[in-house]
Amino acid sequence: MPEILIVGEDICQQVVSRSDAFAAVENVFAAMAQGDAWNFPVVREALGHADALYGFKSGFDRAGMALGVKSGGYWPGNMAKGLTNHQSTVFLFDPDTGQLSALVGGNYLTAVRTAASSAVSIDHLARKDARVLGMVGAGHQSTFQLRAAAEQREFDKVVAWNPHPDMLPKLGVVAEELGLPFEAVTREELGAQADVIITITSAFEPLLMADWIKPGTHIACMGTDTVGKQEVDPAIVARATVFTDEVAQSITLGEAQHAVQAGLITASDITPIGKVINGDHAGRQSEDEITLFDGTGVGLQDLAVAQVAARVARERGLAGITQL
């Protein structure tokens, strides 16, 4: 009987580092751009129970031999029960036989792979001399984003804004831990100061306007992962050179959906970041260019980090093992 590995949330945190996640996500973006990895259509449904949204993200990475599905969603009542509102589990299958090979906790992995995605974009697209990091958003994902971004450039300061200012001190504590001065600013000041901006909110309207962004800025829009969500002025998307994890998602449920709907850009204006990683696109081409990464979040990222978790947990004897 084939073995099935069980890798819980605690073990995932022990065995998948930020640099592991960065490498896994960078590799899978490269494989997607080469046509070696595919995401399957996303399913996301309102359950009509517990106000929950539930769905699947799945795909196959032929280069990395990862096949599987992340299943989960959003249960808004969980917080009151002492649980995380976002819940997910990754199921990995043997690509040669279709047999289940691992069950991996998906909550920590979702945060670390999302942070890796914006970090990969900063690594490949931000100006080398970027010094000020601007954070828009201060929720659960934001601290992961800050830690991963801080490793990509020699930042000397973090400026931040959040629609709910009372959430900012938590982000400030992480900046302090990283040895970075932290300043809560207005949105206009954030745009004027930041060389790199990460947006990671649940907004449904633009939080940053085009006039506030200075030339040469790199913006990673990470919060918009659903139809109707929006974090920046479509005029920013129109002015920027736009990159994404997956074009099909970017134009339908990512930040670019609004600029596309307004007729400001089309799908052909958006470049998969994998092309930059593979050397098939130059990426940033001038110091004044505004680059924007539309990080929509794809199932292949989840499979990539879950595969690392399963492999390392097995190597270190930390995985539970069972059989069907």
Please report, for the chain, how many H helices and E strands are present, in that order: 11, 18
Place of tokens 């991996």: 104
Tell me which residue of 283, 201, 195 sits closest to 242, measured CA to CA: 283
Residue placing its CB nearer to ligand NAD in the complex, 147 or 314: 147
Residue placing its CB nearer to ligand NAD in the complex, 179 or 228: 228
CA distance 107 to 84: 8
Active site (annotated) includes residue 70: yes
Shortest spacing between CB 168 and ligand NAD, in angstroms: 9
CA distance 90 to 299: 10
| β-pair partners for 57 | 70
**Amino acid residing at 279:** G
Residue placing its CB nearer to ligand NAD in the complex, 223 or 274: 223
Shortest spacing between CB 251 and ligand NAD, in angstroms: 15
Residue placing its CB nearer to ligand NAD in the complex, 131 or 187: 187
Q: Residue with the closest Cβ to ligand NAD?
A: 139
Residue placing its CB nearer to ligand NAD in the complex, 5 or 125: 125
Question: Please, which residues have CB within 8 angstroms of residue 146's CB and are 6 or more apart in sequence?
Answer: 133, 135, 158, 171, 174, 175, 178, 198
Residue 136 dihedral angles phi and psi, to the nearest 5°: -110, 110
Instruction: Note the residues at the interface with ligand NAD (CB under 6 A).
Output: 110, 114, 137-142, 162-164, 167, 200-204, 222-223, 225, 295-297
* Catalytic, out of 57, 70, 229, 275: 70
CA distance 151 to 106: 23
Q: Starting from the edge strand earliest in sequence, which strands make up the sheet with 270-272, in order? A: 182-184, 157-161, 132-136, 196-199, 218-221, 291-294, 241-244, 270-272
For residues 103 and 310, the answer to whether their CB atoms sit within 8 Å is: no
For residues 255 and 219, the answer to whether their CB atoms sit within 8 Å is: no
What are the residue numbers of the active site? 70
